[in-house]
């Protein structure tokens, strides 16, 4: 049925009410549609799958090809080394030991990323690629925290040594076990370490860890410019968040003509 001249549909009326600028562009809060776009899903999930495979494969390779006690392997001499490390904290080692908090925070972040995707428009291709990188990085580290768990003890600081944590396998039982805690560090194939309970800050904890192996080596005035060991997932997270912030900073309203058929993009 055709419309009579001079009449408008309810959708046109809604757009006219929201088009306060009078420039034929829909405000940003009405620019959704990616969930109904096949191309948008392809951009997102291809990045997620390839990113997750790259992260988990690289971690598996590093922890099978390298030894914890070996000298760092120079990948790009003077710039990038490979050395093994287990991280019980968040990004770059922050908040060590708060495993369940990090798992819950990761799940909330994943839900928020999917919300951002659902709120985006199919033409926001950079946003979809950025969200794919963030999802890949978050899922890669979340997998590690769930699949790779160790016992951890925290040794109190002394006049000569700072407070530090030891990750490994708790060895229960044995003589004088009521006064000592024995743990086999993850980097040693044999030999246990015994700590007096008075040396420890708290009890033995079971924590999920993230496998790290990439180290930036340049120094400035004798100090590392980046002291943390990280992994491919961390790189995806940093790059993805940076892309997202830049995209949001420079994004412009989508022309109303682009909102008619989201599946076309």
Beta strands 229-230 and 223-224 are unpaired
| pLDDT for res 257 | 53
| pLDDT for res 91 | 52
Helices (H) and strands (E) in the chain, counts: 5, 11
How far is residue 89's CA from residue 86's CA, in Å, rounded to a whole number?
A: 9
Q: What angle do CA 247, 250, 253 make, to 5 degrees?
A: 100
Percent helix, strand and coil across the chain, each rounded to 5?
45, 20, 35
| pLDDT for res 265 | 56
Query: How much is the pTM?
Result: 0.77
Q: What are phi and psi of 67, to 5 degrees?
A: -110, 140
How far is residue 151's CA from residue 189's CA, in Å, rounded to a whole number?
A: 16
| pLDDT for res 188 | 75
- Every domain of the chain and the residues it spans: 33-69+96-148+230-252, 150-207
How far is residue 60's CA from residue 230's CA, in Å, rounded to a whole number?
A: 14
* pLDDT (tens place) for every residue of the chain, 265 residues total: 444 444 444 444 443 444 444 444 444 444 568 888 999 999 999 999 999 999 999 999 999 999 887 888 999 988 999 999 998 875 544 555 566 777 788 889 899 999 999 999 999 999 999 999 999 999 999 999 899 999 998 899 999 999 888 899 888 865 556 788 889 899 876 678 889 888 998 888 888 899 999 999 998 888 888 888 999 999 999 999 999 999 888 876 555 555 554 544 5
| pLDDT for res 9 | 42
């Amino acid at each position: 049925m055709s419309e009579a001249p001079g009449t408008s549909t309810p959708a046109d009326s809604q757009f006219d009410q929201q088009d306060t600028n009078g420039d034929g562009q829909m405000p940003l809060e009405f620019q959704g549609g990616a969930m109904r776009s096949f191309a948008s899903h392809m951009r997102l999930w291809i990045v997620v799958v390839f990113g997750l495979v790259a992260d988990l494969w690289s971690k598996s390779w590093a922890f099978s090809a390298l030894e914890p006690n070996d000298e760092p392997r120079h990948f790009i001499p003077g710039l990038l080394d490979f050395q093994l490390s287990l991280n019980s904290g968040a990004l770059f080692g922050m908040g060590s030991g708060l495993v369940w908090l990090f798992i819950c925070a990761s799940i909330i972040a994943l839900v928020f990323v999917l919300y951002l995707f659902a709120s985006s428009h199919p033409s926001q291709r950079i946003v979809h690629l950025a969200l794919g990188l963030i999802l890949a990085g978050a899922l890669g580290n979340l997998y590690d925290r769930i699949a790779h768990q160790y016992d951890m003890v925290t040794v109190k600081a002394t006049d000569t040594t700072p407070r530090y944590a030891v990750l490994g396998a708790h060895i229960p039982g044995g003589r004088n076990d009521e006064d000592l805690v024995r743990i086999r560090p993850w980097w040693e194939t044999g030999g246990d370490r015994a700590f007096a309970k008075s040396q420890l800050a708290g009890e033995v904890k079971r924590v999920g860890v993230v496998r790290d192996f990439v180290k930036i080596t340049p120094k400035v005035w004798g100090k590392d410019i980046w002291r943390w060991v990280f992994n491919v997932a961390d790189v995806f997270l940093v790059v993805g968040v940076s892309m997202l912030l830049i995209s949001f900073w420079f994004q412009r309203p989508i022309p109303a003509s682009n909102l008619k058929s989201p599946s076309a993009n």
